[in-house]
Amino acid sequence: MLKLHGFSISPNHNKVKLALLEKGIEFEEVMQRPSQDETFLVNSPMGKIPTMEVDGKFVSESGAILEYLENAYPAAPLMPMDPVERAKCRELMQVIELYMSGSSASGRLTAAAFFGAPISDEAKNDAEALIERGVKAVARLAKFSPFLTGAKFTLADCVAFPQLSTVAWVTRIVLGKNMVDGIPGAADYLKYVAKRPAVQKILADQQRAMELFMASVKK
């Protein structure tokens, strides 16, 4: 059985978990925090989560894992068949991943949002400018009719829901404004997608993991 190593607070973990749930693939979740331990770097060379264990082999990088799932489990497709539509779906995934995700722009604010870590005004302004550019790009590309790329739920939604929710939360806490509100239709889209059973599970697991995490760092 596939094993997803990571933890349920992480948006990168949750985008893969959402694809697994939406595709109806059986999997096991193995609790793993990011780590620079040699033993973990063997399975995830940057020490990041998630990493997916497939028959004893490990694949890291959520984009590569999503591509594997789509190729290995084609029965419930989450990518359009038409090559151009497929590329447009990939484009949105990339734009969100590269310019808005926790490992890029909003990631600069994550420690401040989670732990109240000090952050300079300069760092805040830099992050805000980067996120602003990503917000404008997503606003240009997203259809929200009702899903990100059109009528069907796709991998772009698996990426967008956890990432945009995180950007919304982090920017509200650190910058005092929810920057996802700069994407017309995004707030309603997030509420709509949150009703899906798979997303409900993601949110419930995330809430539980967050409570455990906060209790462990307060000790």
Ligand X SMILES: N[C@@H](CCC(=O)N[C@@H](CS)C(=O)NCC(=O)O)C(=O)O
Q: Which of 29, 63, 85, 91 binds ligand X (CB under 6 A)?
A: 63
62 touches ligand X by CB under 6 A: yes
Whole-angstrom Cα Rg for the chain: 17
Q: Which of 103, 111, 133, 187 binds ligand X (CB under 6 A)?
A: 103
Q: Whose Cβ is closer to ligand X: residue 9's or residue 144's? A: 9
φ, ψ of residue 20 in degrees (nearest 5):
-60, -45
43 touches ligand X by CB under 6 A: no
106 touches ligand X by CB under 6 A: no
Give the interface segment with ligand X, choosing from 55-63, 76-84, 133-141, 195-203 (CB under 6 A): 55-63
**Is 4:43 a contact under the CB 8 Å cutoff?**
no
User: What's the gap between Cα 54 and its chain centre?
Assistant: 21
What count of other Cβ atoms lies within 10 Å of the Cβ of residue 154? 27
Q: Which of 10, 106, 149, 165 binds ligand X (CB under 6 A)?
A: 10
> 3-state DSSP call for residue 37?
coil
**Is 18:202 a contact under the CB 8 Å cutoff?**
yes
Q: Whose Cβ is closer to ligand X: residue 65's or residue 180's? A: 65
- The residue ranges that bind ligand X (CB under 6 A) are 10-12, 34, 47-49, 61-63, 102-103
